[in-house]
Structure 1
Amino acid sequence: MKLLNYTTAYFAGILLLVILVWAGLFYINMLDEIYDSMDDGLGNQKMLVMQKAARDSSVFERRNFEDGYYRLKEISFAQARNRNDVYQDTLMYVLNEQDYEPFRMLTTVFRHQDRFYELRVITSMVEEDDLIEDLFYALFWLYLGLIASILVLNNFLLKRIWRPFYKLLQRLQNFRLEDSSQFIPVPTTISEFQLLNNTVEKLLQKNISTYNSQKNFIENAAHELQTPLAISLNKLELLAESENLKDEQLTQIGAVIQNLERLTRLNKSLLLLSKIENKQFGPEAEVNLNELIGKIVADFSDQVTFRDLTVRVAEKEICWQKLNPDLAEILFINLVKNAIVHNKPEGFIEIIIQKDSVIIQNSGKPVPLDQDKLFTRFHKGSDAPGSTGLGLAIAKAIADLYQFRLTYEYPQMHQLTVKFK
């Protein structure tokens, strides 16, 4: 949910709660005012009736409400004693409505010529059901109007105010460490956004500096290691060609050469892995994976023949993917090599190429591998002497770089699947 919609939802909920509470308080206060106003009117009518009764004796003949707003009834002194004015709600039948309607009634007692009379005065009052209904519709339309106003405010005024923030987010999304020139601070006059701009710029500059330092260190370290390793290997090979060496010495020199060669491969693999993770490879292009995998299988034909393996490539569809050609080759070299190295004699490899995936299946030990460790660095699924434990880690890094899904399954055989977007 976007920030503006999120705040709108909160405003709508809070506003609904406020209106409900306000409506309840308003209804109670409004009823109180209505009752006060009607009671004052009834009190005034009582005084008018009493004054009229003092002048006109025909008033005492009013025994019911059919033709007026009051009625009189003579009572005894005992009934009149200690009587106070009583205001109450009542229902009376109204001819034009053909129904009982609510009325407010005042019951009081007064004395006239040593005789006591009970006076009842009525006035029509608002029906509470109608009042609640009218109040509900009034508040409902008020609420809709306020929500519409908030939406208009968010989409015109607040969106314009927050525009620098969204521009900053867009530039951060497009920012790449390997291309630091892309980030440009967003001009704004709002203090908080200026502070955010400055903070983000300082943070990115620090990350760029750290990235460049790490990049230079890796390149320099890899370069500096390659030279002494190559020199050591050359000297050991020359030493091994000497005629005065014993068999035991030749064996030891061979072991050292193997370790140095493994260290050379390890150095190259770590450098490659670092470059992949730091996105230091060149432009992308459309790569025909059918042709690429066919070439890789042909290149590994000697190893396949030596291990007496059967390789089958099932090209069900033509698969084109956009990525760096060198990384595409490294990805599938590692996957095919993994299927060869971790196979059994007279085993098989099957590669299934579809439009949106490549599946590599191979025989091997009849037990599933540990999926949690399979793609981690230096994890070895077998005791292959030349393995660095980085092949599948490099393949996973390339897949993650292009948002491909590299997964392992063991339905009846070992299966690695590269699922494209």
Structure 2
Amino acid sequence: MRVQHRHVIYVQGYDPRGLAQYYRMFRTELRKFGRLYNLATTVSRPKGPPDGESASWTIETAGDGWQTRTDYDFLRWEDLIQRDLAWPIWKTLAYAIAIYWRLVFSGTMGRFWSAHWRFATFISYPHILLLNEAIWSAGVAWAFGFGLQWLGIHGFLVGASALAVFVAVLGTLLKTTENLSYLLYLMSDTIFTWQFSHGQRPDWDARIDRFARHLVTVAQTSDAQEIVLVGHSSGSFLGSEILASALKLDPELGRHGPRMVLLTLGGNMPIVGFHRAATGFRDNLRRLAIEPSIDWIDCQSRKDVMNFFPFDPVAGHGIDAGKAKRNPTIVPVRFREIIRPEHYERFRWKFFRVHFQFVMANERPHAYDFYMIVCGPVPLKERVNQPAAALAMASTEPQTRENAWQKLDLGPNSALNDKPEPVIRRLG
């Protein structure tokens, strides 16, 4: 069972740039992928239904001794995200600050710190930055008020003027530094995840249901050998919700047609699952943990402060799936091994750039390669189980490739059709 046709359904995270930016990145990174492995690649233009909730394109990839076609669906949320970001600044700040302190006093922030202190620091960062900007703005306002008093103006006018200056300076700082700080964006993200975990986003829930029906339709009609549902960043918990909803619509989802794999990259599931109100979300995680017809691969990186590492998305939520647990398979990824040293040093402290490396092209051949997962001939589960053999498939030497296929043993009785116990696998 060498994959000749794969269907990928990509669930983006909380990113307002959406389709246009992602497709440009995908096309650029695909060319880099082709050059790295000396492959021929072509990608079609994106097409989408009239509702604009998704877009699709096709990738053709050919290497020595193999060729694949990938149907790629991009599920869109940017209209909902842009609507969130259009809130007035004062409303975003007030709501996000209130949520942050509720996280602190409810103990949820403490759970974040215990699970992954780097993520807890990252989620606190915009509030620390806001405090710093507020202090500078207050200093300017105080100096302005002092100047009024020196001119002989006293009383209510001084206080009102100083307050107006404070608001004006703080607002200006927030707007002019947003492209560097992402403060307002991160606070909007905090608001969204709070609302989502507490069942206060019916617009997102309705779209998840529509995407679940799309997944069911693909599984029932596609002639692909493998369907990979990819969730990056916040797309990890959105993707798991889509798959869980699809299983409710069709409990036989992974038992007919293509093999079904959930691939979560740089996941941050606790920002939903750690809330006490998110009982339905944790129930869905348990369902995925024990579902025998679904493979779930969860890739994490220590270097990425925007994901939880090391973290079991099931046990880490206090879910006891018992002996029936078979998912997820946790795969640690070291970006230092897939990026040339001189480039790695340039972006290692750029947190968003590091976070997106999960879905960008490698600069060095490695068993973890997003574009080889999308376009290569080896099924994802086998790529994880036999990383060295999967990497050897990119070789230009026919005997090396043949030896790799023999090791992978991709036949009707192969390990691909077995369901191993969940493990932590290190690629490379």
* Short-chain TM bin: under 0.3
Bigger relative contact order, structure 1 or 2, given CA contacts below 8 A and separation 6+? Answer: 2
What TM-score, normalized by structure 2, do the two folds share?
0.18
Could you say which structure has the larger radius of gyration?
A: 1
State the TM-score, normalized to the length of structure 1.
0.18
